[in-house]
Amino acid sequence: MVICSYIIAKACDLFEASTEYLGRNMEDGIKGATLNAIGSSIPEFLTTVFFLVFATSQNLGRDFAASVGGDTGSAIFNTIAIPGLVLLVTFFVIKGVSKVKISKKVILRDGLFLIGAEILLLILLSSDYLTHWHGWVFTGFYAIYLAYLIYSHKKARSKSSKEESLFEPNAWYEKFIHSKRDGRGKRATWLLILAVVILSLCAAGLVEGTKIVSTSIGINPIFIALILVAAATSVPDLIISLKDAKKGNYDDSVSNVVGSNIFDITISMGLPLAIYLLITGKTINFVEHGSNLIDIRIFLLLITVIVLGIYYFAKSLKKKHVFILLFIYILFIIYSIGAAQYNAGINSVISNLAGFFIEWIRQPGGIEEILKHFGNVLTGNW
């Protein structure tokens, strides 16, 4: 898993160079929410694919739940840890920068769609059984988001030939793209495909590593995926956001992570689910394993609302926001460990605290029961 994470980090350089060229004419915030977000979410998409493909019939629900845990954990990592680390680097490494302003338009646009996707996640995965229609609904939601981005996109001015001539490629992949004036788009596309292939192989390695670790220590793979796989598959988002921030493209830096979250929750999870269940004709019994995720999905929605509120209502982001974001992420890690211990029957202070929250959600007539009823009524005919 460590080796795969390292290779993913290196593959990001190829990916970033290709999308930098392909998205050179895109408006601020659009490139981050589309090319960067989709490409950097390929690891999450592929981990879902491999969790489903490698799963045995008796473990299908468990392994799909693990993939959801990875996508959910990645969304939380993207929402809190990446902006926190980006701001940390911006304030403490880049000289002369003491505050960062982010477009309210970008936060409002992507933030509302993200909250919508998380509400959909909360309701649909509360169903007792999952069919290919669940996957198509998630996929359709992303199609609406993408259509809105395309509709609202105003073509930016193309860079002049003078501006392109000022660019001096350093790395081999930059030299490969800019070696000749003709065919740069094709070479950038081939480089993007190479990066995706590398990420695919590493995603398969992460899935197998997750299963081995979870079996070895006797913990549900959901919780391994929630922390380790989530962080590993978010490496592309982190690197791309850091590079955008260093260039002063803060809108792209933020829209990348928010757009990636929407992609993770809808396409990365929904499209493989839809295609796999449609082809195999299977239905996933999600009664037991869906229950293990209810608290995490609620946690995700609460964290998203809080963090997006900070981004939107703060006139500018300052050093204090770095510590607030990182503190929230540390709390999430502690809770995840406590929840894993609680589900494994381990008695500790953090497992008792996590257990109190879980039991409150699962009490008769509580949030879980309400969501299950609503989800089953909505998807009963699927």
Question: Which string of b and e fits 125-146 if b means at least 16 CB within 10 Å?
Answer: bbbbbbbbbbbbbbbebbeebb
Residue 135 confidence (pLDDT): 95
Q: Which of 2-6, 30-34, 63-67, 131-135 has the lowest mean pLDDT?
A: 30-34
39 against 163, higher pLDDT: 39
Task: Name the pLDDT band for 349 (thresholds 50, 70, 90).
Answer: very high
Q: Give me 1's structure tokens.
A: 């898993």
What would the mean pLDDT of 315-333 be, rounded to a whole number?
A: 85
Which architecture does CATH list for 2-379? Up-down Bundle (1.20)
Report whether pLDDT(345) > 80.
yes
Place of tokens 């019994």: 285
Cα Rg for the chain, rounded, in angstroms? 21
- The predicted-structure confidence for 166-206, as pLDDT tens digits, reads as follows 556 777 888 888 888 788 888 888 988 888 888 878 877 88
Cα gap 292→286, rounded to integer Å: 10
Give the pLDDT score at 162.
Answer: 37
- Which alpha helices (H) appear in 153-234, and where do they start and end? 161-165, 172-177, 184-217, 221-224, 230-233
pLDDT at residue 157 above 50?
no
pLDDT band at 3 (very low <50, low <70, confident <90, very high): confident
pLDDT on residue 29: 55
| Inter-residue contact 14 to 205 (CB < 8 Å) | no
Average pLDDT, the chain: 81
End-to-end CA distance of the chain: 37
Predicted confidence (pLDDT) at residue 159 exceeds the cutoff of 70: no
Let me know how long the chain is: 382
More confident residue, 163 or 258: 258
Return the pLDDT at 170.
76
pLDDT at 153 over 70: no
pLDDT digits (tens, 9 = 90+) for 359-380: 999 898 889 999 999 999 999 8
Q: Is the pLDDT reported for residue 315 higher than 70?
A: yes
Q: With bands split at pLDDT 50, 70 and 90, how would you rate the model's confidence at 252?
A: low
pLDDT for 213 beyond 50: yes
Q: Is the pLDDT of residue 290 over 60?
A: yes
What are the residue ranges spanned by the domains of the chain?
2-379
pLDDT score for 97: 72
Q: What whole-number percentage of the chain has pLDDT above 90?
A: 19
Alpha carbon distance 54, 43 (integer Å): 16
Give me the pLDDT at residue 156, please.
45
Instruction: Annotate 236-289 with DSSP letters as a single string.
Output: HHHHHHHHHHHTT-HHHHHHHHHHHHHHIIIIIHHHHHHHHHHHH---EE-HHH
The reported pTM is: 0.80
